[in-house]
Amino acid sequence: MTPATDASPVQSRRCPVCQAEPGAPVWIKGRLRVVQCPGCSMRYANPVDAELVNGDFYHHLAGPFYLSPDKTAGDYATIRFARERCIFRRHCLSGRVLDVGCSTGGFLHSLNRLFPGDYDVLGMDVAGPALDYAKQQGLSVIRQPFLDASLAPSTFDAVTFWAVLEHLSDPLAFLAHAASLIKPGGHCFVLVPNLDSLAVRFLGSRYRYIMDEHLNYFSRPTLLQLTRQISEFAVVAIESTHFNPLVLWQDWRSPQERVPDADRAKLLRKTTGWKESPALLPARWAYSAVELLLGKVNLADNLTIVLRRR
């Protein structure tokens, strides 16, 4: 195993899905070492920098990335969480909602704006400056790591993890804690990048989202295997969603070890603008058809799973 290039401490991990010992690296990209579990085929980063595990990294990243005007404009655009809201509303039409890893609060803010009075929302994150922004937008937030927070059990109708589980050293512990907070009949929503996406199949480790901060690379089988270990949850839906052809094109044309955070935020804002432009409506129909098709064959960018508390 190649040692870290600076003094940051690293932690080694077992498979986050089946706890087996790690296998050999299958992807090496800068400091990132991704191994494949010989037991369940889960791909995950090992070893990882301690600051990615304890959350310090995100606290420091919050200023330059999460709070850049491009990122906040993108996250607060109505279209940004449209797919997530659509799935969410199919299972939860009202009640108390906790968004874990809420960042600047884009998802919760959109719920309040589009469905006024339907939800009582609460956000949590370890990135302090991002939470400050969420609070300035009128959202209630808790500044504590999720596993340490003292929240009353069985009091939430929904807990959401939008693009969070891929960042966690122990995603199973987070799901188990979520299960304890959700009322019987309530739901947990999880969105993660899809290891079997067209983008990963085509680009491999050149894909920008094979990155230091992403500690876990779930496929449909490994995501199901993880969630089924929480006996309080029943799986009610799993689907493949989202497709960003521009990312595919850019990463194929000019692969970089790490796409600068500012460039990622700029692209997010640009594609959000296109999705909202009336002039591009016919192009959007074609795009939606492609996205739908990719989703049907499990090749879209993300996986979303919905779990019901028994």
Provide, rounded to whole angstroms, the least separation between the CB of residue 229 and Zn ion.
Answer: 11
First to last CA, the chain: 43
Minimum distance of Zn ion from residue 13's CB (angstroms)? 11
3-state DSSP assignment of residue 14: coil
Cα–Cα distance for residue pair 256/258, rounded to 1 Å = 5
Nearer to Zn ion, 17 or 200 (CB): 17
- CB 219, min distance to Zn ion, A: 12
With respect to Zn ion, which residue has the nearer C-beta, 42 or 108? Answer: 42
| In the complex, least distance from residue 42 CB atom to Zn ion, rounded to whole angstroms | 4
The Cα–Cα gap between 21 and 69 comes to 42
DSSP 172: H
| Min separation Cβ 217 and Zn ion, Å | 12
Residue with smaller CB distance to Zn ion, 15 or 188: 15
Which residues would be at the binding site for Zn ion (CB under 5 A)? 15, 17-18, 20, 37, 39-40, 42
Q: Is the peptide bond before 116 cis (omega within 30 degrees of 0)?
A: no
Name which of 204, 215, 179 is nearest 309 in CA terms: 179
H/E stretch holding 29:
strand 25-29
The Cα–Cα gap between 239 and 303 comes to: 6
**Structure letter (DSSP) for residue 72:** H
Residue number, 43 or 80, with CB nearest to Zn ion = 43
Closer CB to Zn ion, 17 or 97, in the complex: 17
